[in-house]
Amino acid sequence: MPNGIAGWSILVTGGGSGIGLATAERLAADGAHITICGRTEQKLIDATTRINAVATAGATATHMVADVTVEEQVAAAVEATTRTSGRLDALFACAGGSLHLGSTLDADMAAVRGTIDLNLIGSIICVKQAGAAMRDQGGPGSIVLMSSGAGRFPHPHLWAYGVAKAGIRFLCQTAAEELGPLGIRVNAVAPGIIDDELMSFITAGGPLLDDYLAQMPLGRVGTVEDVADAVRYLIGPESSFVTGETLGVDGGHHLRRGADYSLLFG
């Protein structure tokens, strides 16, 4: 596949930092035109500068402010992505995060709903809008969703995030089944502990990090580049016969048990 993803138009949600930014850089370095979106404009401006600095083969990077829980804003981001080439070739739905941490018995339901909206509902909206655009252009297309190890096996006190990420795994399977006949593949990544700004309160050290490392055969914290490489594979033509798959990028953590977030409470 000599051309890889050069010339493709790809939307990355949550592309202003962390895994989203690293993946956008990885894709642009292979010649793809990248549109990133998120909720903080200055972060997106800074990220776009970084992406353009590594872009090759005439690739470009642009940004727009969009909240993935607002369907009209996602639709606008999808439309913006098509302006360069007239197509939407791929989507990496990376935006997410945890707004709730604690026991089910003491749940802050507003935080639980916010976590599910951001992760699961946001991903559903992204699949709907991107999938429709890919269908209307006659395919093909590739969608990669962001699940998590927390959605594959229990992480005490991180259950709201885990529920949302488990939903994304099932969304991946269902969308792959539905969209496959249209030439649209849908896959997901499920990272473990990754050294980025969202996880810095863990990766800085302490009992929770020790617990993570004890449950990982490879015994190290992952990098954003580890995940970016996995997404690049799932997005690109190299995985043209792969759909409905959730790929663990977790150092083997899924082979053991989830990290115990109650350790944060002493």
* pLDDT, mean of each 10-residue run, the chain (266 residues): 85 98 98 98 98 95 98 98 96 97 96 98 98 97 98 96 98 98 98 94 95 97 98 97 98 96 88
Q: Which amino acid is at 135?
A: R
Q: Which of 34, 29, 33, 2 is nearest to 16 (CA)?
A: 34
Secondary element (H or E) of residue 61: strand 61-65
Q: Which pair of structure tokens corresponds to residue 163? A: 């529920």
Q: Which pair of structure tokens corresponds to residue 20? A: 């989203």
Which of the residues are catalytic? 161
Secondary element (H or E) of residue 248: strand 246-249
Domains (range + CATH), the chain? 9-265 (3.40.50.720)
d(CA 65, CA 221): 31
Q: Which of 97, 100, 112, 63 is nearest to 83 (CA)?
A: 63
d(CA 3, CA 23): 19
pLDDT for 265 equals 86
DSSP of 129-194, one letter per residue?
HHHHHHHHTT--EEEEEE--GGGTS--TT-HHHHHHHHHHHHHHHHHHHHHGGGTEEEEEEEE-SB
User: How many other C-beta atoms are found inside a 10 Å radius of the C-beta of residue 222?
Assistant: 22
* Residue with the two structure tokens 């810095």: 200
> CB–CB of 230/202 below 8 Å?
no
pLDDT for 2 equals 55
Secondary element (H or E) of residue 64: strand 61-65
pLDDT for 90 equals 98
d(CA 154, CA 13): 26
Q: Which pair of structure tokens corresponds to residue 99? A: 């707004």
Instruction: Lay out the sheet containing 33-38: strands in order across.
Output: 61-65, 33-38, 9-13, 90-93, 141-146, 184-191, 246-249
